[in-house]
Amino acid sequence: MSDEDYNPNAALFSGEEGEEKSEEQEAFEYVYGRNPNRVSALNDLWFENLMTKIKEMELPNEEAKMKMIFKLTAGGILDMLGDSQPPGVAPEVMSDLDMFMGLALTNMRFKVDLLGEQNKALKSIDPDKFESDEEYVKALSDAEDAWWDIGQPLLDMRNPRDAIRETLRKYGLE
């Protein structure tokens, strides 16, 4: 974002007065709603230097240039994510990211939606079969945990946990 495009008063008028949001809504807006602003900041931070580096590289074609741009950008963002965390928290954050990527890659490999499949399985649990809401919630929680270790037909009878580990191993992330 150039200095000409920046308006320090823009946020003053960006919402209806008196509008109350839940903590969850505020957190969602902070994490995802500000991403266009973060993209603008990263553009100002990296774009010129990145393009200079790409022009200096002897890459065989446009596809190779595009892949290099992606790899340098993704690597920079991952470095920033790791560097922005306290040392005791960074490994956990990166492990969570690895697991999320493993889930997404496993979904892509097997053309499934594992979280959607788990949700279907959990919806099949009848709340009327339990004497109390607490028993039902416990049964849901137990089933949610156990589901990851049950062989699934959509994964050629692998359990989801093993399928994700297998995927992560392929990338050296397990």
> Which tokens is 119 given?
């949700």
Residue 135 clears pLDDT 70, i.e. is over it: yes
How would residue 114 be classed by pLDDT, with cut points 50, 70 and 90? Answer: very high
Helix (H, G, I), strand (E, B) or coil at 150: coil
Question: What integer pLDDT is reported at residue 19 of this predicted model?
Answer: 76
* Residues 151-171: tens digit of each pLDDT: 999 999 999 999 999 999 999
Domain boundaries of the chain, sorted by first residue: 25-84, 89-174
Question: What integer pLDDT is reported at residue 139 of this predicted model?
Answer: 96
pTM score over 0.85 = no
* Residues 8-49: tens digit of each pLDDT: 666 655 555 557 899 999 999 999 999 999 999 999 999 999
Distance of CA 82 to the CA centre of its chain: 14
**Residue 106, Cβ density class (10 Å: 0-12 exposed, 13-18 middle, ≥19 buried):** buried
Least confident stretch, 18-27, 90-99, 104-113, 144-153: 18-27
Share of the chain above pLDDT 90, in %: 87
- The string of DSSP letters for 5-32 reads T--TTGGGGSS-TT----HHHHHHIIII
Query: Please, what is the average pLDDT of the chain?
Result: 92
